[in-house]
Amino acid sequence: MSVAEILFVVAGLLLGLAFQGGMFLFLIPFAVVAFVLACMNRPRLAGPNSQSATAGLPVISLSKRATAGNPIIAPDLRSEFIGIKGLANEPEAALKVSQVWARANADINRSMTDMLLALKIVVPNVNSVIVFTQMENQKEWGIRNFANDKEISVNTCVRISETSGLLGQLFRSNVNRLLEGDLPGAKSVMYYVDNPAIKSVVAVPLIDHASGLRVGALVMDSVRPNAFNDMTARALSFVASSISMLDYKGFYSAQKHIALQQYSGLYSYLRKFFQTMTVKDIYKQIINYVKANMAYDRLTILAMDQGDDMTGRVVFCDGVDSEQFANKTFTLSDKGVFVLALMRNRPMERSFLPGFKDYLPRLNDTERKNLNLRQILVMPISAEHDSDMAEIAICLESSSSMPYNDHEKELLKAFAGVAGFAYNRARKYEKGCDQAMRDGHTGLINKKTMFEKLRSEKVRADRGKYHIGLLMMDIDHFKHVNDTYGHPIGDVVIKGIADTISKEIRGDIDVVARFGGEEFVVALIDTTAEGMVETAERIRKSVEKLVFDVHRSEPLRVTVSIGAFLLTQSFNGDLQKAINNADQALYRAKEGGRNQVVQFEKQDSEPVSV
């Protein structure tokens, strides 16, 4: 069986497998190469004037086999189609992405090596077969892969441009091939270290299947003069087309795999969103996703204050000069680009050329200027999709010369849409929970919530070995206020006293609740008996100074009676008993003439009036 017949059988088998679909589609280029090589070596019937029974290219013996060098990964697969973006602050997902590209590079290079070896075997007198592909600088080509004899060294660092002698001609759109049979020396090809006496060169451009642009070249040379002919050049064009298709399919297959991987990661975050019921956790998920999937030099997350349409704050900042933005507040009247994107509820992107001098404020003019950050991408997150203003903004900045690509922006936009829905849901849930926990008139927590907080505080107090002071207070003669001035004035009095109590305690530590109609309970965390009584007296005196305008000749003044009980670590009863002890002290305060503080000391002793 001849070489041509073997290659036809191989091409048929490869095509048969390719028609199975899926991962076997990558066999199509190999089938094309096998078919081309079979055609080149197909025997021709002898005519009456022929001297040989073979085609222009002779049947090649398989006894001599050349060797190939290792695949060259230097010109990255991505650089043939898109510019490589350097990751300033590499996200966690970048490792997986790099692994996909490395695997795609390795697979394509293995296949390309087999192609080049096949050419060396089939075509006689070949010294080297070299593939040049586009570098990061799109005006240069570098060596991607090659097959040659071990005795000859290829300079893998060589770069070819339009001014690079013989091969530079392939950059011109009107040059579709090079066919030289009598070169003066190796300097004309420029890609060898030892300068062998190269006499023949055939080269064709690699054409990008999507854009039609020239992205490289396939070159074959020989030390023998006139080693190649037109048929060799034509066959090389077919192989170059297969290599281009292999790169094209490999690139988009890897890109698709990465996209699926990223959308899979996005889906996992969407699931977390629907398991999250607090606004604080929504912020956390947004930060985690962006840090894992987006490259940046600085990440800033802005959020509008709830219940206020004009002010906001920085909830998170990471990266360059992050300390100047941490917990910083802003208003919608500020002229920063972050604030503008938030106010307009539109994604915003800015790119700055090297050496730009006009700094664009992020929040306002008071911030420190950093001219090294040349890329800005702001993605707003809105609770309502048709809202005029967003509630959250993801602000990315990078020192890279390459802007964020469309895929990254679309991925972030999809994430922002779901994050907005989850934020709205969490906000409504928190509002509903807050309403269920609080008294609608005063804004203080209610009786049920007070007991829940008291239980958790008692556990912490026992662990930390400190005491909790309980104050039960009641407005003196409140029924007389309602009967004389009406219930609306009574509501004003209750609200005024609630505000006064809140001002006299530590708002971030102590707890105050509206316990009943005109009753309030305060839990003083980590206090002593003296500190508890001192705070109770301060509250009593502040209430005594209150003046309520009731539109009469004399303003309304009220007082409160307060019962105090120190909840120590030795107290073994339930919390209702502790409240009852404070209530008994309150009863004694009312019996003793009102507007006073009485401390409960022991169950079997009389409460002590202060």
270 inside domain: no
Q: How many CA atoms lie within 13 A of 342 on its CB side?
A: 29
Catalytic residue, chosen from 151, 430, 518, 591, is 518
Q: Which of 44, 59, 74 is the last residue of a domain?
A: 59
Assign residue 125 a region: left if phi > 0, alpha if psi is -120 to 50, beta otherwise?
A: left
DSSP classification of residue 525: E
**Do 237 and 212 meet the contact criterion of CB atoms below 8 Å apart?**
no
Q: In this structure, are 379 and 471 located in the same domain?
A: no
DSSP codes, 352-417: --TT------SS-TTSPP-TT--EEEEEEE-SSTT-SS-SEEEEEEE--SSPPPHHHHHHHHHHHH
My answer on whether 419 and 503 are in the same domain is no
* pLDDT score recorded for residue 604: 43
Looking at the 3D structure of the chain, how many domains does it have? 4
Task: Based on the fold, state whether residues 96 and 219 are members of the same structural domain.
Answer: yes
- Assigned domain for 231 exists: yes
Q: Are residues 194 and 138 in the same domain?
A: yes
Q: How far apart are CA 189 and CA 152, in angstroms?
A: 14
Confirm whether 263 is domain-assigned.
no
Instruction: Give the CATH number of the domain where residue 546 resides.
Output: 3.30.70.270
CA angle (204 as vertex; 201, 209 as ends), nearest 5: 165
pTM: 0.53
- pLDDT for 137 equals 76
Which CATH number does the domain housing residue 116 bear?
A: 3.30.450.40
Per-residue model confidence (pLDDT) at position 405: 81
Q: Which amino acid, residue 134? A: Q
Verify that 35 and 138 share a domain, yes or no: no
What per-residue confidence (pLDDT) applies to 36? 59
- The count of other CB atoms within 10 Å of the CB of residue 212 is 8
Q: How far apart are CA 319 and CA 601, in angstroms?
A: 56
Residue 156 near residue 143, CB atoms below 8 Å: yes
Q: Please, what sign has the CA dihedral across residues 84, 87, 93, 94?
A: positive
Angle at 289 between CA 288 and CA 292, to 5 degrees: 85
Q: What is the pLDDT of residue 249?
A: 82
The β-bridge partners of 513 are 445, 521
Q: Round to whole Å and give the CA distance between 78 and 89.
A: 20
Return the pLDDT at 503.
93
Residues 6+ apart with CB under 8 A from 459: none
Helices 28-40 and 94-122 cross at an angle (nearest 10°) of 10
141 inside domain? yes
State which residues form the domain around 600. 447-609
Please confirm, yes or no, whether 452 is among the known catalytic residues.
no
Q: Does residue 269 sit within a domain?
A: no
What stretches in the chain show pLDDT beneath 50? Answer: 44-75, 77-78, 80-89, 604-610
Residues 460 and 515 in one domain: yes
Residue 481, in any domain of the structure? yes
Domain endpoint, select from 436, 471, 486? 436
Sheet with strand 597-600: strands edge to edge: 511-514, 519-527, 467-475, 560-567, 597-600, 608-609
- Residues 78, 217: one domain? yes
What single-letter amino acid sits at 253? S
Does one domain contain both 353 and 400?
Answer: yes
Residues 72 and 53 in one domain: no
Please say which residue of 13, 41, 59 terminates a domain.
Answer: 59
Instruction: Kindly state whether residues 211 and 292 are assigned to the same domain.
Output: no
Helix 279-293 to helix 230-275 angle (10° resolution) is 160
pLDDT value, residue 52? 35
Structure confidence at residue 377 (pLDDT): 94
Residues 529 and 517: their CA atoms lie apart, in Å, by 27
Does residue 265 fall inside a structural domain?
A: no
* Beta strands across the sheet bearing 214-222: 159-160, 141-148, 128-134, 214-222, 200-207, 178-180
For residue 524, the model assigns a pLDDT of 94
Please report whether residue 266 resides in a domain.
no
d(CA 600, CA 568): 13
Do 214 and 344 have their domain in common?
no
Are both 498 and 573 inside the same structural domain?
Answer: yes
